[in-house]
Chain A
Amino acid sequence: MINRYSGISPKGDLILLKRLGDKLAGKSFLHVNSTKAGGGVAEILHRMIPILDELGIKARWEVIEGDEQFFDITKKIHNALQGNQEKITKKMWQHHFEVNKKNVDIMHLDDVDAVLIHDPQPVPLIEFKKSGRWIWRCHIDVSNPMKEVCNHLFRYCGKYDAAIFSVARFAKAMGIDEFIIPPSIDPISEKNMELSNTEIHATLESFGIPADRPMVLQVSRFDRFKDPTGVIKAFRIARKYNDCMLILAGSPATDDPEGELVLNEVKEYASGDPDIHILLLPPFSDRQINALQRAATVVLQKSLKEGFGLTVAEAMWKGKPVIGGAVGGIPLQIIHGITGFLVHSVEGAAFRIRQFLNNPEMSKRMGERGKEHIRQHFLITRQIRDYLSIWYALDNGGKNKLDLSI
């Protein structure tokens, strides 16, 4: 499988992956998160595990199981870490811990060489550590969290060997090594592979979307932090002088109980506008999302808070001009004015939509630069390389310089 990345990923990344694979072959690497479907974490794990296996590493992926109450609590924790005011009682924290405790047996934590715990849901598992290097991987924008919630959670996090954040400003002083590793996309997955025009047109037809009009697209969960109503406002301003339609497409995630509520709000706000298509796609609609992104004239990710915003990298990989909110990891992907535009308001988004719609040459130029930027920095091979590098560095006494030429 790794050979399929030849000619796509940077050569050095593939060479280093094989070298690190040789060093870590036969060792076990457990990943734990909270959902098999929906969201960027599950998506990347689906692709990463087989690659790790092929490198000779015994990779395993477990999903924490919990009741409805558990996911309501973890959603509140998630929102509080992103800056929302939430009340999390002592009893709720206790339930969070108890559910983790119940999961210990199915996780088989004995005899693991490295464990990567994704996000806050499975964080208390550290209390049941038996062996190996334990790393907490935070995918959330924690730059301005609710202090009380943050402090409670970080009592667990401080027991890990290291933590990984997606962006430098998310890192916290937890007294452990904190690395900055952006997430990534898989260029050969169904979501990002090349598609024929026939397939793209067939997908549009299946959704009842005309193929002959300029299309503004946002792909994301129906979540207030993704500002879907702000996107509709921006679209309505841009439409005044420019014929275009808006597609809002997203899949539900099992760990997001608010999704349906937000979807209904968005539908109400769109109020039957025939130029606005709201698509609730089933999980694993990767090929359809790929087709929509390839059919789009302009792609938006107008988030107000964002862990990273991988849909930006996906659209850029397809050579599309992209407009993103200047939050989370989006400024790492969009270099303003070079690989796309960063915006701070509805009006800013509307202005940039109009600019792209009226200037196809500029759109093409930025799209091409964007694609190369993603190739160099945001493909899955780079992310796996970084995870293995950290594991290898921790195994080697946390040295800052490692020479693998021997």
Chain B
Amino acid sequence: MECVTILKSTGKTARNIRDLRAVIARISEESLFHHTYQYFLKGHVLEYTNDFAYWVAESLEIRALSERLSSIDPFVFEDLSHLRQELLQSIDDYIADFPESRDAISGEEFYFNETVTIIFPVGMRAKNLAEFLLAVRYVDPASIYYHFYEARIRHGTDDFSTWMDDVLGNRELAKAICAIDPFMHNIEGIRAHIVEAVENDVRHDMEVIRP
């Protein structure tokens, strides 16, 4: 499967940290979802883990708050309302210490968007590890996103390790894929680590089957 997204403007913008807080407090869950979970679908900058942290650092130059926002793991929350609370708490703590806010320069305001998401099958099926290795090398980045990131929202973990464990019964490989830090790589980096984990597993198996 793969998913593509088309941006939809909410018409809401923020010029400074107080604006950002005010809009985050009332913006739709779709918009929150886009600026946090879907950050990984973009060719993202690895210094940050969501659009808010990126903007706070690059446009407002508030590094400490950006670091705190970047440390929020969206996959640990039960629902978006808890994620929203965490974002607001981080901003409130900062404002309590530094009440004076500065504006982003014109044109660098934060633009709140949502997305229309379309999910569709890409017509590739892997029945074993060899087929999986071939497929994972060539599928589009959006397919890796769907199975590695988006899956965590659907069932708490990525699709690849679930399949390795449940279908192939290969718990070691499942663990190796689970151990890939989703925040420290872009999608191509994730792909490279999955390929490496599978190749290591295949190599290990080949070494065991000696005459």
Which chain A residue lies CB-closest to B123?
A15
Contact A405 B11 (CB under 8 A): no
Contact A169 B11 (CB under 8 A): no
Contact B4 A385 (CB under 8 A): yes
Given contacts A389-B4, A401-B116, 10 further A-B contacts (CB under 8 A): A12-B142, A168-B9, A178-B8, A179-B8, A179-B9, A180-B6, A376-B43, A393-B6, A401-B118, A402-B118
Contact B111 A386 (CB under 8 A): no
Q: Does A143 contact B (CB under 8 A)?
A: yes
Which chain B residue lies CB-closest to A399?
B116
Chain A residues with Cβ below 8 Å from B7 are: 168, 179-181
Chain A residues with Cβ below 8 Å from B9 are: 165, 168, 171, 178-180
Chain B residues with Cβ below 8 Å from A177 are: 8
Contact B119 A401 (CB under 8 A): yes
Q: Does A90 contact B (CB under 8 A)?
A: no
CA distance A393 to B5 in the complex (A): 12
Contact B111 A169 (CB under 8 A): yes
Q: Does A390 contact B (CB under 8 A)?
A: yes
CA distance A386 to B5 in the complex (A): 9
Chain A residues with Cβ below 8 Å from B122 are: 11-12, 15
Contact A11 B140 (CB under 8 A): yes
CA distance A177 to B113 in the complex (A): 11
Contact B4 A400 (CB under 8 A): no
CA distance A180 to B118 in the complex (A): 15
Chain A residues with Cβ below 8 Å from B115 are: 400
Q: A12-B140, A400-B115 are in contact. Are A179 and B120 (CB under 8 A)?
A: no
Q: Does A404 contact B (CB under 8 A)?
A: yes
CA distance A393 to B143 in the complex (A): 21
Q: Does B1 contact A (CB under 8 A)?
A: yes
Q: Does B139 contact A (CB under 8 A)?
A: yes
Q: Does A19 contact B (CB under 8 A)?
A: yes
The 4 closest A-B pairs by CB, nearest first: A171-B9, A180-B7, A404-B120, A12-B140
Which residues of chain B (87-142) have a CB below 8 Å from chain A? Answer: 106-107, 109, 111, 113-123, 138-142
CB distance from B119 to the nearest CB of A (A): 5
Chain A residues with Cβ below 8 Å from B120 are: 12, 15-16, 19, 403-405
Contact B6 A390 (CB under 8 A): yes
CB distance from A108 to the nearest CB of B (A): 29
18 pairs, A vs B, C-beta closer than 8 Å: A10-B141, A10-B142, A15-B2, A15-B123, A165-B9, A169-B107, A169-B111, A173-B11, A177-B8, A178-B9, A376-B141, A385-B4, A389-B116, A390-B6, A400-B116, A400-B117, A401-B119, A402-B116
Which chain B residue lies CB-closest to A169?
B111
* Residue among A143, A335, A389, A390 with most chain B CB within 10 A: A389
CA distance A173 to B107 in the complex (A): 16
Q: Does A373 contact B (CB under 8 A)?
A: yes
Q: Does B61 contact A (CB under 8 A)?
A: no
Contact A400 B30 (CB under 8 A): yes
Q: A12-B140, A12-B142, A400-B30 are in contact. Are A390 and B121 (CB under 8 A)?
A: no
Chain A residues with Cβ below 8 Å from B118 are: 16, 389, 401-404
Size range of the interface on A?
A: 35 or more
Q: Which residues of B contact A (CB under 8 A)?
A: 1-2, 4, 6-9, 11, 30, 43, 106-107, 109, 111, 113-123, 138-143
Contact B8 A335 (CB under 8 A): no
Q: A12-B122, A12-B142, A373-B43 are in contact. Are A180 and B113 (CB under 8 A)?
A: yes
Which chain B residue lies CB-closest to A394?
B116
CA distance A165 to B6 in the complex (A): 12
Contact B111 A168 (CB under 8 A): yes
Contact A171 B140 (CB under 8 A): no
CB distance from B146 to the nearest CB of A (A): 10
CB distance from B81 to the nearest CB of A (A): 18
Per-residue CB contact flags for chain A residues 218-245 toward chain B (1 = under 8 Å, else 0) read: 0000000000000000000000000000
Contact B111 A171 (CB under 8 A): yes
Q: A171-B11, A173-B11, A400-B30 are in contact. Are A12 and B117 (CB under 8 A)?
A: no
CA distance A405 to B3 in the complex (A): 11
Partner pick for B119 among A173, A385, A405, CB 8 A cutoff: A405
CB distance from A132 to the nearest CB of B (A): 19
Which chain B residue lies CB-closest to A174?
B11
Which chain A residue lies CB-closest to B111?
A168
Contact A389 B6 (CB under 8 A): yes
Per-residue CB contact flags for chain A residues 15-37 toward chain B (1 = under 8 Å, else 0) read: 11001000000000000000000
Which residues of chain A (41-75) have a CB below 8 Å from chain B? Answer: none
CA distance A405 to B122 in the complex (A): 9
CB distance from B135 to the nearest CB of A (A): 11
* Residue among B7, B109, B115 with most chain A CB within 10 A: B7
CA distance A376 to B146 in the complex (A): 16
Which chain A residue lies CB-closest to B42?
A377
CB distance from A404 to the nearest CB of B (A): 4
Contact B116 A403 (CB under 8 A): no
* Residue among B107, B117, B119, B120 with most chain A CB within 10 A: B120
